[in-house]
Structure 1
């Protein structure tokens, strides 16, 4: 019989957000190999239109939130942590569902993995064990 430990929900959530971030990074990195992608970047175009300060700030915020959730999942009190993970897990699942529409196969693969991970985040946050009142 192999020895095993019970992993606290906070650690599970943090690890899942880490995995999500690695998939985001690799998916976006591999996307640079698509023909014409670098030329679009050099011309100042993004998937959302021209690369303005507002567009880049919005995209930065969108990517900073999952990065922060790695730490916040460990640091926030349980109730706030639970609800923030549920809301953001659903939000990022929907965002990825929209983002993979008509994408290259590698991006769809990363997107489906990211959706599975963010759904797992929602699931683990939803079933967060409750402590019996003393």
Structure 2
């Protein structure tokens, strides 16, 4: 016979390292970033413009494609860098890159018509929220108190010398 209790079973919620949060946020940003560009191809006239050698108002060229590749490669690299860089460099890199990508994301609405306002508003809004999460996570990175040099560390050093 099994006795049932009314105590709820709590799920374990271990802390997630800041590096993992940052990498996950950059990964989400990348998925959104790529899908927004993909769905943009469904706008009337976009594919025709590309086939005629134009992206937005720019001629398709190796320079333009290199700039576009760099704009996608940087967040993609941030996924790896967020996991591998040392904490101090990691924090600074995430603060700088996320700060630069906020205006870059907002610029994507330039030239948009009111007909597409919700599409751009939603996509840019989510991108900015993800970047804000990255900024907050990097800014509030937990600090480990430094061990003060006292008698305990002095004793250890003396033991090593003997």
Normalized against structure 2, the TM-score is what?
A: 0.79
Structure number with bigger Rg: 2
Match of 2:13? 4
Match of 1:81 among 79, 90, 96: 90
Superposed displacement of residue 48, structure 1? 5.2
CA distance in 2, matches of 1:61, 1:47: 18
Correspondence 1:23 to 2:20: no
CA distance in 1, matches of 2:146, 2:62: 50
CA distance in 2, matches of 1:90, 1:48: 26
Correspondence 1:53 to 2:62: yes
The two structures, once aligned, show a CA RMSD in angstroms of: 1.2
Match of 1:119? 132
Q: Name the SS of the counterpart of 1:131 in structure 2.
A: coil
Match of 2:108 among 72, 75, 99: 99
CA distance in 2, matches of 1:113, 1:26: 12
Extract structure 1 runs of 4+ deviating beyond 4 A.
Answer: none
Match of 1:132 among 145, 148, 160: 145
Match of 1:108 among 121, 137, 142: 121
Superposed displacement of residue 101, structure 1? 3.7
Gap regions ≥5 residues in structure 2: 1-9, 148-162
Q: Deviations over 1:23-58 (max 9, x none)?
A: 111111110100000001111111351011111111
**Residue range with higher mean Cα deviation, 65-74 or 102-111:** 102-111
Q: Which of the pair has the greater relative contact order for Cα pairs under 8 Å at 6+ separation?
A: 1
Contact persistence 1:93–1:118 (CA under 8 A) = yes
